[in-house]
Amino acid sequence: MKQFTEKQAIEFAELKRWEKLPPRERAIFQLTQRRLCMPFEVFQEAIEEALGRSVWTHEFADWGKLRDELLGKGKKPSMKDIINMIPKDKLVIVGIDGDRK
């Protein structure tokens, strides 16, 4: 796919041209561009809808894995896989027992 210039990416975002794309196409389009061409939250919502799962922010560090999963070339990561993507020096897990009163 032809890469947008910075000017083209800004114009695409400002004119909200991404709005006419269904979520799957929106996600594929953005995953193939080096520049962000829509608000990040719009991109995240599109990829979550297309994949049928929550996508954690740190997963966007490797767009290739998300693209492969979306195109059926990669597997859906387990929660352990997703947690292992977090650098060990940044990892903090908090468990909350919602049944306690």
Q: How far apart are alpha carbons 11 and 25 in whole angstroms?
A: 19
Mean pLDDT of the chain: 91
Taking the CA atoms of residue 14, residue 16, residue 17 and residue 23 in that order, the dihedral angle to the nearest 10 degrees is 140
Q: Which amino acid is at 85?
A: M
The pLDDT confidence band at residue 89, using thresholds 50, 70 and 90, is confident
Which ranges constitute the DSSP H helices of the chain?
6-14, 23-31, 40-51, 63-70, 79-84
Cβ(63)–Cβ(31) under 8 Å?
Answer: yes
The pLDDT confidence band at residue 93, using thresholds 50, 70 and 90, is confident
pTM over 0.85: no
Instruction: Please tell me the total number of residues recorded for the chain in this structure.
Output: 101
Q: Give pLDDT tens digits for 49-60.
A: 999 999 999 999
Of residues 93 and 84, more confidence is placed in 84
